[in-house]
Amino acid sequence: MKTSLSLHHFLLAIAVVAVWGSNFVVIKLALGQMPPLLFASLRFTVVVLPLVFFLPRPAVPWHNLVGYGLLIGVGQFGLLFVAMNGHISPGLASLVIQVQVFFTIGLAMMLAGETLARIQWIALALAGTGLWVIVAHTDGSTTVLGLGLVLLAALAWAGGNLVSRAAGRINMVAYVVWSSLFAVPPLALLSLWVEGWAALADGLQHANSLTWAAVAWQAWGNSIFGYAAWGWLLSRYSAATIAPMALLVPLFGMASSAWWLGESLPFWKLGAAALVMAGLALNLLWPWWLRQHRQR
């Protein structure tokens, strides 16, 4: 595996994290026109159609596809969309959901008996302090409910990470498409139950070209392009080379939210972001530093 990114591949990685980061602004804009669970249903419907007819089903058990579809579709994005519908700002949502890194580690410890190194405890403490700062400054744009929903979405993402890891080395695009088959029905039923037929009909009737562009961006930009490009890079470079690039997602998320939506960036918010990012960076980069140090 290569350890040094070429310029073209570095720019590709930047494009992916820019799409993933700015995606939170796209979500917020679309939620102004459409109920969150309906929006999530449409997003995964467009992921499925028409690619499910052209991509062969990945060679994984059906229960694996069902688990991933439910955890990522309903758990991660369903909860995230509900949270962002007036309960948390896009910039903070892009930051808080990255706590999935620590949830993934915690679940791996519970299920596989993995242990937490001392440096990981320090990283967790830094990120936890950043979250505490956010809780202490909840206001009209960010509520305790919104923060809780995004944390649950991060937990669902972590569960999806473990399910996809169990699937092995597969075509990730096909995996995302086929697993999305199992996200659409529960999201549609939840939308009908929670939001009601009148809200669904009104959302579809008043959806404009910007709303449908947001749905397409969610499906094709965020899911198809993002996962395909990221998986392609991971197949050619070591995980230690690619994974730290994901630390730029909250930076793009907060910057795009401030630029497009006028989200304020007071000192406490920047400080909280610095603490969470420091924890994530320490957790991701410390193992890489140790390997480099031992090779000398």
Domain-embedded: residue 32? yes
Domain-embedded: residue 281? yes
Position 263 scores a pLDDT of: 79
Domain-embedded: residue 2? no
pTM: 0.84
Q: Considering its fold, how many domains does the chain have in total?
A: 1
Q: Which domain holds residue 112?
A: 7-295
- pLDDT at position 227 over 60: yes
Domain-embedded: residue 174? yes
Domain-embedded: residue 178? yes
**Picking from 105-119, 149-163, 267-281, which range would have the lowest pLDDT averaged per residue?**
105-119
Domain-embedded: residue 135? yes
Domain-embedded: residue 1? no
Position 115 scores a pLDDT of: 65
Query: How does pLDDT run across 174-189, given as a tens digit for each residue?
Result: 998 999 999 999 999 9
Position 284 scores a pLDDT of: 66
Count of residues in the chain: 296
**Picking from 7-16, 85-94, 265-274, which range would have the lowest pLDDT averaged per residue?**
265-274
Position 3 scores a pLDDT of: 52
Q: Within 13 A of 229's CA, how many CA atoms are on the CB side?
A: 22
Percent of the chain with pLDDT over 90: 29
Domain-embedded: residue 122? yes
Identity of the highest mean pLDDT range in 216-220, 227-231, 274-278: 216-220
